[in-house]
Copies of this chain bind each other. A is one copy, B any other.
Amino acid sequence: MYGYHDHKDELLKRLRRAEGQVRGIAQMVDDDRYCIDILTQISATTKALQAVAVELLGDHLSHCVADAIEAGGPGAHAKIAEATDAVARLVRS
């Protein structure tokens, strides 16, 4: 079980909402809505997705990474490097 297991329901609710936001953006395009209003919705959706990512990262540090550190050995180093790479991708996206 991964770190986010305890609040899976809340994460799923936020992801369903983000999915609805993207569907709403497609609908706005289909309805010929004003460009700037569509851009505003895209900004809101990427923000919502990034907030989910930051929460997942916190869970990951609290569980998977913490467990690897407690277990010690090279596994801990690998987990920290992997999490840092994930942060690098989030910062660039």
Contacts and interface: CB of A to CB of B under 8 A. Distances in A.
- Chain A contact patch, size range: 35 or more
Interface in A49-82: 49-54, 56-62, 64-66, 69-70, 76-77, 80-82
A5 to B, nearest CB: 7
- Count of identical protomers in the assembly: 4
Contact of A43 (B36, B44, B77, B89): B89
B84 A57 contact: yes
Interface of A: 1-5, 8, 11-12, 15-16, 18-19, 22-23, 25-26, 29-30, 32-36, 38-40, 42-47, 49-54, 56-62, 64-66, 69-70, 76-77, 80-84, 86-93
